[in-house]
Amino acid sequence: MAIERTLSIIKPDATRRNLTGKINAKFEEAGLRIVAQKRLHLSTAQAGKFYEVHKDRPFYGELVEFMASEPVVVQVLEGEGAIAKNREVMGATNPANADAGTIRKDFALSVGENSVHGSDAPETAKEEISFFFSGLELVG
């Protein structure tokens, strides 16, 4: 399987509870390398732009407000089949449906406050990585 890169966001519900290290340990235990990482406090405009694809969904306003409420940690994860592997490690979007041992099962509070975001496909991974990082910031 090819080496891929994917964008990950540790969301405000997790940074608030000081879970960055515990979540990063799950990525590393799964063989994903953190090749870029920074902590940001997104503005409402930045969060709205990042999640623009969901702008017609009923939860969009709530999602944007939550993502801009407190700091996030944005990161690039690298590894074999990193996009799918990260989605496995995260677990289902709704923690009620997530498998045991996944990040969302262990840490998420609700479908909205679900601790992490991960890119869902190669094209979105590319777009999402370039939303937050320049090439110079990716150190594999």
Footprint on this chain of ligand CMP (rule: CB under 6 A): 54, 59, 62-63, 93, 111-112, 114, 117
* Minimum gap (Å) between residue 113 Cβ and ligand CMP: 7
117 is catalytic: yes
- Cα–Cα distances (Å) from 51 to 68, 77, 79, 98, in that order, read 12, 20, 25, 22
Nearer to ligand CMP, 75 or 114 (CB): 114
Rounded to 5 degrees, what are φ and ψ at 116? -145, 155
Nearer to ligand CMP, 55 or 139 (CB): 55
Active-site choice (117, 119, 125, 132): 117
Nearer to ligand CMP, 29 or 62 (CB): 62
Measured distance CA(76)–CA(65) in Å, rounded: 23
Measured distance CA(94)–CA(139) in Å, rounded: 32
**Active site amino acids:** 117
